[in-house]
Amino acid sequence: DAGVIQSPRHEVTEMGQEVTLRCKPISGHNSLFWYRQTMMRGLELLIYFNNNVPIDDSGMPEDRFSAKMPNASFSTLKIQPSEPRDSAVYFCASRPGQLNTEAFFGQGTRLTVV
Amino acid sequence: DQQVKQNSPSLSVQEGRISILNCDYTNSMFDYFLWYKKYPAEGPTFLISISSIKDKNEDGRFTVFLNKSAKHLSLHIVPSQPGDSAVYFCAATFYNAGNMLTFGGGTRLMVKP
């Protein structure tokens, strides 16, 4: 398996524009997570899905953020409209359904909003 | 409310010496703990884990210690190597957490040659 695949690797956009980040989890993994890495908060959980169903989105900072998982092999994180303070590295991770297993991370998307 | 905390944002160690990275947690329900290593421009990668039924787990140069009464875990790297220079995150979860991992803020380790 190629691991968790995120696209794009880098995104530079202007304030007010819509941004969509994409993730393909590892096949067979039941859970998918979106994290944001910042200097202040480290790895901050935004939202996670179990079996394509959103379980906890309490980490989503504002209504400008939304996430979907239409099927087991694809998820998106959308920011609309984007703001400079959204600039960060966004990670997607997936995890098998078994207990006591690790999560596998993608390489991240570095978002810069100017 | 940060349930997992890494109070040292950075640590500098000489090559060959021991590196000790610390992590504290507040949720007594956590029963599985993990350490991840992250290099610049890469995603975090799993390093080592420990279940709450143990107090120590060892894998080569890496050992994780768990002190449940103190709600504290630590990662020991012996001997430290320059290639160990990275950001280290601890994470925790528990059975009814819905498969969710809660991460600490990370500690940047620098191993000097």
pLDDT in tens, chain B (113 residues): 679 999 999 999 999 999 999 999 999 999 999 999 999 989 999 999 999 999 999 999 999 999 999 999 999 999 999 999 999 999 999 877 667 889 999 999 999 99
What pLDDT is stored for residue A100 in this prediction?
A: 78
Nearest CA in chain A to B90: A43
Residue B106, min C-alpha distance to chain A (Å): 6
Using a CB–CB cutoff of 8 Å, tell me whether A95 touches chain B: yes
Smallest CA-to-CA distance from B32 within A24, A34, A30, A95 is with A95
Q: Hey, are the CB atoms on B103 and A106 less than 8 Å from each other? A: no
What pLDDT is stored for residue B1 in this prediction?
A: 66
What pLDDT is stored for residue A62 in this prediction?
A: 86
**A76 in Cβ contact with A67 (< 8 Å):** yes
In this predicted model, what pLDDT tens digit does every residue of A12-63 receive, in sequence order? 999 999 999 999 999 999 999 999 998 777 899 999 999 999 998 988 988 9
Using a CB–CB cutoff of 8 Å, tell me whether B70 touches chain A: no
What pLDDT is stored for residue A1 in this prediction?
A: 65
Beta strand A109-113 pairing with A10-13: parallel
**A60 in Cβ contact with A79 (< 8 Å):** no
Report the first-to-last Cα separation within chain B, whole angstroms: 38
- For residue B112, what are its two tokens? 């000097």
In this predicted model, what pLDDT tens digit does every residue of A70-113 receive, in sequence order? 999 999 999 999 999 999 999 999 998 777 788 999 999 999 99
Pairwise CA distance, residues B88 & B44, whole Å:
8
Q: Hey, are the CB atoms on B101 and A95 less than 8 Å from each other? A: yes
What pLDDT is stored for residue B98 in this prediction?
A: 67
Residue A63, min C-alpha distance to chain B (Å): 21
Question: Residue A73 class from Cβ within 10 Å (0-12 exposed, 13-18 middle, 19+ buried)?
Answer: middle
What pLDDT is stored for residue B8 in this prediction?
A: 93
Beta strand B32-38 pairing with B45-51: antiparallel
Average pLDDT, chain B: 94
State CA B18 to chain mean position distance: 14
**A15 in Cβ contact with A83 (< 8 Å):** yes
Length, in residues, of chain B: 113
Using a CB–CB cutoff of 8 Å, tell me whether A107 touches chain B: yes
